[in-house]
Amino acid sequence: MGGDNGPAEVIRGVKLVLRDIAPEDRLILVGNMKLLQMLARKAGIEAHPQVEYRDAEGVILMDDKPMQAIKSKKAASMLVAMDMLKANEADAMFSSGNTKVLVAAGTLKLRPMPGADRPALASIMPHKNGHFILMDVGANPESTPEQLMHNAVMGTVYAQSALGIAKPRLGLLTVGTEEGKGGERINKAHSLLKKLEGEINYVGPVEGFDMFAGDLDVAIVDGFTGNILLKSTEAMFKMLVGMVREKLSYNPFYWGAGLALFPILQSLKNHLKADENGGAPLLGLNALVIKAHGSCNRHAVRGALRLGRTALSRQMSERLREALARANATIASPAQNPPTPAPPPAATETLATPKEGGPLP
């Protein structure tokens, strides 16, 4: 029921994803049941055998404060869906609602998985030749060195699953690549990551320049910087496309060029919007929560639902738990040369950004 576009657009996304999923899958729409059934009727999926309904009362609004909303809006759709996860009545949930309430409710109701202190949002971003994972993009603004290390471990597993990269190259985002730069938090996180040599493919500290060059698969940063970075690069891209469009339309000489340019801008846009199309998982909770942009459209909803479905089929949560346990044991181990277990088996297929209309594995 939340998000900027309300349930109508979510239901249009559900209609799209119904073409892709397996016959045993179920999609449960949580919210004002009359409204949802009316919207589902309009979309022609009211009586679809794979669509179910769960009544909920109220909506978490975009400016609701976490603790207050969790206490006073117990029957709101987001919190009812989360209770269903907790009660094992659902395997994963999707939300395009208030991120801060989602993170707080997830932490309180589902609890962080063993080995992780706090959940982190992982976003898929474009680089020159493909995509990389930026995390945390806002779940935990004041990440500690230990939490940055947990995020590195989880980001590695997510990149294996979502990008199909066996040994994702992981960098710690900072302001200078020499050791000792970036302050105490970065130094401590750097030491922890170096200890995990056998478990993650840590390439060292990296700078803002390095992210888009294509040499990095996972960039780890605190949720404060990550959130500002995500929103700024998105806004900057929109600005650039808008400026090109404006210049094209302003001068009739460019109209022909504009027509030719349109497919280029469109393909760039598709490449750059991978995060919106895929949604961002809240990694490190005991059940799977997928967050989509508040302003997501039906295609982004479909992408996020597919992402959730595929993560479940690939046992991503189990892999995250195992990797965290191994990493924490290595860090706690007093041995000088800790045993280096083999990295988890490489995912050869990709989880996110499946081709439009292609079947889910």
Sites of contact with a copy of itself (CB under 8 A): 63, 65, 100, 126-128, 138, 141-142, 173-176, 178, 180-183, 207-213, 221, 223-225, 227-240, 242-244, 247-248, 253-254, 256-257, 259-261, 264, 267-268, 271
Nearer to a copy of itself, 248 or 301 (CB): 248
Nearer to a copy of itself, 156 or 174 (CB): 174
Q: Are 233 and 240 in contact (CB under 8 A)?
A: no
**Least separation, in Å, of the C-beta of 186 and a copy of itself?**
8
- Phi/psi of residue 338, nearest 5 degrees: -65, 150
**Least separation, in Å, of the C-beta of 283 and a copy of itself?**
18
Residue appearing with tokens 């309300």: 6
Q: Are 11 and 39 in contact (CB under 8 A)?
A: yes
**Least separation, in Å, of the C-beta of 13 and a copy of itself?**
23
CA gap 241, 226 in Å, rounded? 23
| Alpha helices in 122-183, H assignment, sequence order | 145-163
Count of CB atoms situated within 10 Å of the CB of 212: 15
| Count of CA atoms in the C-beta half-sphere (13 A) of 318 | 5
What pairs with residue 31 in β-bridges? 55
**Least separation, in Å, of the C-beta of 20 and a copy of itself?**
29
**Least separation, in Å, of the C-beta of 141 and a copy of itself?**
5
Tell me the CA distances in angstroms from 255 to 240, 258, 265, 325, one per residue in order.
18, 5, 14, 58
The side-by-side arrangement of strands in the sheet containing 131-135 is 92-95, 288-291, 280-283, 120-126, 131-135, 218-220, 169-173, 201-206
b/e sequence 160-176, b meaning 16+ C-beta within 10 Å: bbbbebeebbbbbbbee
**Least separation, in Å, of the C-beta of 195 and a copy of itself?**
23
Nearer to a copy of itself, 210 or 275 (CB): 210
**Least separation, in Å, of the C-beta of 306 and a copy of itself?**
25
Nearer to a copy of itself, 47 or 260 (CB): 260
Q: What is the DSSP letter of 254?
A: G
**Least separation, in Å, of the C-beta of 221 and a copy of itself?**
7
Q: What is the DSSP letter of 197?
A: T
**The amino acid at 115:** G
